[in-house]
Amino acid sequence: MESVERLCLSQKLRQVCLDTATTSASASASTRSAEGNVYHSISPADGLTAISENEVLDMLSSQDFFCTPDFVTPTEQQIVVDFDGNKEKGNVSPPKGLTPMRSKRPRPGWLSGNHPHSELEIYCSDLPLEAHFSSFSASKCEQLYDDTASCPSSTNARLAALRRRALSPPCIKNPFLYNDPEIGTSTNKLRAKFQGAGTSCLSRYREEFHEIQEIGLGNFSRVFKVLKRIDGCFYAIKRSLHQLRQDGQRRQAINEVQALAAIDSHENVVRYHTAWFENDYLYIQMELCDNSLRSWKAEAYPPPEKSLLGGMLQIIKALAHIHSHGLVHLDIKPDNIYVRKGIYKLGDFGRATRLDGSISVEEGDSRYMPLEILNEDYSQLQKADIFALGATFYELARGSPLTSSGTQFQALRQGKHALLPGFSLPFQNLLKGLMHPISKMRPTAADLLNHALFNHGKDAYFVQHLKR
Ligand SMILES: Nc1ncnc2c1ncn2[C@@H]1O[C@H](COP(=O)(O)OP(=O)(O)OP(=O)(O)O)[C@@H](O)[C@H]1O
């Protein structure tokens, strides 16, 4: 290996070891040998023995370290998920130009160039095949990963354990959790420790997921469709647009994670799986949805009233659920309502806050906010969600985007709605009620569940008319 690459790796390794040593000072101790080598003796619980820096560097710089790890798949296995997401055992078409092989397990000599290619590696690789097996250097790895520290892990147990320790997430109190004495007492003692968390670690994103494509871009994040290597399922991964180096930025970014984690899973709320920091980016793994209501095809207007009511009911269920957990969403709009297999799901909890006002309020999109929120009156936060729900479905029925200022903006906040041709009076009255200028006059989500207008069936209309 070139000396520059070796030096680079050495620095990364030193950082990983430093992180390891600081995060577990009680379990680890560093000593310096007579030759000047730094040794990190790691507690027996980790199954590690003392490793010299040079020794680990040799392992890191070996080809073995850089090759995609075997994710404990059986020999002769069949990939069960094809790239369209169809789960058909043994009926998988490989991407063009790639020939899948049957054997998964590395065999003797597989690194020498005379090896069977693992199916998973072939399907999930971003590199030409030969890069996996021959002359796979740190510089090639850097092409694939953000930096040398993001390269995939070794199968070597000691390195894996070392990496796991470097990845240990900080313990942060979740302010969204109400009355949980166990969490309260234990986390009160732990101080938020953001700085440096996840900075010098290997890429969990690249190691655990194969990126299929970018599917969304927001003001703060990019969203990717990914395939999780170990379970073969598709997910959405939301990655912050920028590196979050300040504590404040990180706190703000994890707001969404904490809100999602604090509410029990619900059919009409986008499912949260996990989150982590990597290279100062926040990654959130979520359920993959088909699309958002924003992407509704223009020619599909006006939607049938029945479809709007069916969709609205599902979001009301989501609201009743999160309000019952003491949370409010505060950014309900067509962009944040997703559809998956005909089920409507509320997503993007980046502005979620607590009903009791104990967490600062960050207003959502002003086009959907009621006047009291714009005037910083936060006494009826759950009614702001109801207003936004009404504005969202008013916009969908109207077929053109709401404005963030001007006559129409003012009129809607004074309870003056333009008539919606083709929609029944009860439906229009329902929207008026949701957008009532006085927050107390708006119904609660729980009230709405019993509203006579809602029929409780699913409707395929939106699903058919959404484009990806
Ligand atoms: N779970 C998901 N499944 C499918 N697509 C998604 C998912 N989450 C987000 N998207 C897509 O990515 C886009 C951006 O996501 P999101 O709105 O959460 O990002 P953001 O940066 O928080 O946005 P905002 O600018 O509204 O604050 C969405 O409009 C949607 O199209």
Protein residue with least CA distance to atom 11, ligand 1: 216
Of 132, 119, 129, residue with least CA distance to 93: 119
Protein residue with least CA distance to atom 12, ligand 1: 216
Tell me if 309 CB under 6 Å of ligand 1: no
Task: Tokens for 171, please give them.
Answer: 């313990």
* Residue 337 alpha carbon to ligand 1 centre in Å: 9
Task: Tokens for 329, please give them.
Answer: 């969403």
Protein residue with least CA distance to atom 19, ligand 1: 218
- Which atom of ligand 1 is found nearest the CA of 351? 27
Protein residue with least CA distance to atom 29, ligand 1: 335
CA angle 311, 312, 318 (to 5 degrees): 95
Of 453, 180, 186, 439, residue with least CA distance to 328: 439
- Which atom of ligand 1 is found nearest the CA of 223? 12
Tell me if 337 CB under 6 Å of ligand 1: no
* Residue 394 alpha carbon to ligand 1 centre in Å: 21
Protein residue with least CA distance to atom 4, ligand 1: 289
Q: How many helices (H) and strands (E) does the chain have?
A: 17, 13
Protein residue with least CA distance to atom 26, ligand 1: 218
Tell me if 396 CB under 6 Å of ligand 1: no
Of 88, 114, 459, residue with least CA distance to 305: 459
Q: Which pTM does this prediction carry?
A: 0.63
Residue 141 has a pLDDT of 37
Question: How many Å apart are CA 366 and CA 382, to the nearest integer?
Answer: 16
Tell me if 220 CB under 6 Å of ligand 1: yes
Task: Tokens for 424, please give them.
Answer: 């029944």
Tell me if 289 CB under 6 Å of ligand 1: yes
85-93 LR contacts (CB < 8 Å, sep 24+) = 85/234
Is residue 224 within 8 Å of residue 185, measured between CB atoms? no
* Residue 55 alpha carbon to ligand 1 centre in Å: 44
Tell me if 365 CB under 6 Å of ligand 1: no
- Which atom of ligand 1 is found nearest the CA of 333? 26
Burial 75-98 (b: 16+ CB within 10 A, else e): eeeebebeeeeeeeeeebeeeeee
CA Rg, the chain, in Å?
26
* Residue 291 alpha carbon to ligand 1 centre in Å: 9
Question: How many Å apart are CA 408 and CA 226, to the nearest integer?
Answer: 41
Average pLDDT, 10 consecutive residues per value, the chain (468 residues): 48 46 39 38 36 47 35 33 36 39 37 36 36 34 39 55 53 67 48 41 86 93 94 94 93 93 95 96 97 76 86 96 96 95 94 90 94 93 97 93 93 93 93 97 94 63 53
Tell me if 218 CB under 6 Å of ligand 1: yes
Question: How many Å apart are CA 433 and CA 299, to the nearest integer?
Answer: 28
Question: How many Å apart are CA 440 and CA 429, to the nearest integer?
Answer: 17
* Residue 166 alpha carbon to ligand 1 centre in Å: 30
Protein residue with least CA distance to atom 17, ligand 1: 218
Tell me if 338 CB under 6 Å of ligand 1: yes
* Residue 256 alpha carbon to ligand 1 centre in Å: 12
Tell me if 335 CB under 6 Å of ligand 1: yes
Q: Which of 280, 331, 348, 365 is catalytic?
A: 331
Sheet with 291-292, strands from edge to edge, namely 291-292, 337-340, 343-346
* Residue 296 alpha carbon to ligand 1 centre in Å: 15
Residue 129 has a pLDDT of 31
Catalytic: 331? yes
Greatest pairwise CA separation for the chain in angstroms: 87
* Residue 445 alpha carbon to ligand 1 centre in Å: 24
Of 330, 419, 428, 416, residue with least CA distance to 373: 330
- Which atom of ligand 1 is found nearest the CA of 345? 1
Q: What residues contact residue 114 under an 8 Å CB cut-off, 6+ apart?
A: none
Residue 390 has a pLDDT of 98
Q: DSSP readout, 174-233?
A: -TT--S-HHHHHHHHTSPP--TTTTTTS--HHHHHEEEEEEEEE-SSEEEEEEEETTT--
Mutate to test the pocket of ligand 1, among 209, 238, 463 (most ligand atoms within 8 A of CB): 238
Question: How many Å apart are CA 315 and CA 388, to the nearest integer?
Answer: 11
* Residue 224 alpha carbon to ligand 1 centre in Å: 10
Question: How many Å apart are CA 364 and CA 89, to the nearest integer?
Answer: 45
- C-alpha torsion 220→222→226→229, nearest 10: -60
Residue 120 has a pLDDT of 33
Phi then psi for residue 53, to 5 deg, are -60, -40
Task: Tokens for 107, please give them.
Answer: 């065999």
